[in-house]
Amino acid sequence: MPEPDLIQQQRAILRAFRQATTERAQVEADAEARRKRELEAAASASKVVQQEAEAQRSKAVADAEARRKAERAAADAALAQAQQTAAAELGEARKTLDAAGSSLSEAGLQALLEQAPLAPTKPDPASNPAQRFAQAVAAAAETLKAVQNDVTALLKWRQDAAVRRRRLMYLGAVAVVVAVVVIILAVQAIQQAVHQAAIRRAEAVGQGLAEAAIKAGPVLVPAGEFLMGSTDAGSGEKPQHKVYLDAYLIDRTEVTNAMYARCVAAGACKPPSSLSSSERSSYYGNSRFDLYPVIYVSWDDARSYCQWAGGRLPTEAEWEKAARGTDGRIYPWGNEGPTCDRVNYDGGKCVGDTAPVGAYPQGASPYGALDMAGNVWEWVADWYQDTYYASAPTRNPPGPGSGQYRVLRGGGWFRYDGDLRAAYRHHFYYPTGQSNDIGFRCVAAPGK
């Protein structure tokens, strides 16, 4: 197809995408409003439960404190009564001892001695001062022992009361902790349900956008120069330099499960090493995820698919120009930081797994390429060489002739801001490497 016709077709596609973006923004606004209402309801419910739990805890503490005061007052009264009784009995014992001691005067003892030779008679305990003294001492000892036993029992009762009080306070604290845990779990469950509902709504919208994007076909990147690399990043991105590229076509989206499955069915590609994704046990081969990016494919798998489809893997230079255009922007959409409206990223906080291809039209590149940041990393043709930019050709650079690692571009759904930059070069994967956040797209010459 001649270039002017492709450009006109691209303009028509961009208009269709603007309309789809407007519709998606309205759906997302409605979803956000519902989410806010659900969160407000959840917050209100959790506040009521917290208030009830706090009231129960306060009442339990107040009841325990009242019982403690009552038990302590009763114990103090009993102890005072026992002390008064003991004091009275000790006073009586002292009086008896004093009376017995006074009767045992020297004259009395002499009289008893003088009467000793008389005929023995049965002694009268009541008239014998020594026996009365012994009896008084024994009675005082019994009284003291009884008082000691009463005091011991009272102290044990107070100790038991303290144990009961501590047990009640402990049970009250446990009840409060359990209530708080239940509230937290309930809030988390509500938030998870709201998040899952938002994901389902976004996936429903994303499926429609994915179908439109795939139907639109590849985008044309015209011939010309662009700025490659960075001035303020790692050495592998320096020096920033101008590169001229011939015109080429690049896939508008990442290769999907359904696309790759056709290559497998034709016998030209190997199946992915895993049929699951991060959160989905059935992913590849499940029709629900046909429009999602294929993952768990190696560099060789990606190259085989592109060759079967009549293309090839893009060079680093081709991928970077398609992602950032000619104005040296940081991200495909511009220099503003990423958000979940533009890209599936942020350590899994947007979706927590892959999303349908083309589901983020607000993150489109200047040429209309989608998901050039986030969703999945993308294999490119080049070997990685840290110093390659310093000596690379300035016209259609093919990449180093050999190396240890192949380069990945674009960042994935589990990555952060810096990895999403159009100039970032990820290079810690061997060509055989596979992961749940690695995919690819292809390029071809215009007219193919």
Q: Which helix or strand (DSSP H or E) is residue 427 part of?
A: strand 426-429
Q: What is the pTM of this model?
A: 0.61
257: left (phi over 0), alpha (psi -120 to 50) or beta: alpha
The encoded tokens of residue 359 equal: 């589901």
Q: Which residues contact 79 (CB under 8 A, 6 or more apart)?
A: 151, 154
| pLDDT given at position 55 | 79
Residue with tokens 């290079």: 427
Instruction: Find out whether 345 and 324 touch, Cβ atoms under 8 Å.
Output: no
The single-letter DSSP state of residue 337 is P
| pLDDT given at position 93 | 56
Q: Is 242 helix (H, G, I), strand (E, B) or coil?
A: strand
The encoded tokens of residue 132 equal: 């009365």
Per-residue pLDDT of the chain (448 residues), as tens digits, is 445 676 777 677 677 667 767 777 777 777 778 778 877 876 776 677 678 767 777 786 787 678 778 777 776 776 677 667 766 766 665 665 555 555 444 444 455 445 444 444 455 555 566 676 677 767 777 877 777 787 787 778 878 878 877 887 888 788 788 878 888 887 777 766 655 665 665 577 678 888 989 999 999 999 999 999 999 888 899 999 999 999 999 999 999 999 999 999 999 999 999 999 999 999 999 999 999 999 999 999 999 999 999 999 999 999 999 999 999 999 999 999 999 999 999 876 888 999 999 999 999 999 999 999 999 999 999 999 999 999 999 999 999 999 999 999 999 999 899 999 999 999 889 999 999 999 999 999 998 6
d(CA 202, CA 347): 18
Q: Is 9 helix (H, G, I), strand (E, B) or coil?
A: helix
Q: Which residues contact 419 (CB under 8 A, 6 or more apart)?
A: 411, 412, 426
| pLDDT given at position 33 | 81
Instruction: Find out whether 381 and 400 touch, Cβ atoms under 8 Å.
Output: no
Other CB atoms closer than 10 Å to residue 193's CB: what's the count? 12
What are the E-state strand segments in 339-396? 377-383
- At residue 218's C-alpha, the angle toward residues 216 and 219, to 5°, is 100
Residue-by-residue DSSP string for 256-292: BHHHHHHHHHTTSSPPPS-S--SS-SS-TT-GGGTTS
Buried b (16+ CB within 10 A) or exposed e, 86-107: beebeeebeebbeebeeeeeee
Phi, psi for residue 108 in degrees, rounded to 5: -65, -45
The encoded tokens of residue 177 equal: 């902790």
Buried b (16+ CB within 10 A) or exposed e, 223-251: eeebbbbbeebeebbbeeeebebeebbbb
Residue with tokens 């759904």: 413
What are the E-state strand segments in 197-240? 219-221, 224-228
Q: Which residues contact 179 (CB under 8 A, 6 or more apart)?
A: 49, 50, 53, 56, 57
| pLDDT given at position 36 | 81
| pLDDT given at position 58 | 79
| pLDDT given at position 148 | 74
| pLDDT given at position 73 | 77
Phi, psi for residue 374 in degrees, rounded to 5: 80, -175
User: How long, in residues, is the chain?
Assistant: 448
Q: Is 325 helix (H, G, I), strand (E, B) or coil?
A: coil
Q: Is 125 helix (H, G, I), strand (E, B) or coil?
A: helix
Q: How far is CA 404 from CA 238, 321, 337, 382, 430, in A?
A: 20, 24, 32, 11, 7
d(CA 227, CA 319): 12
Q: Is 355 helix (H, G, I), strand (E, B) or coil?
A: coil
d(CA 391, CA 237): 13
d(CA 120, CA 100): 23
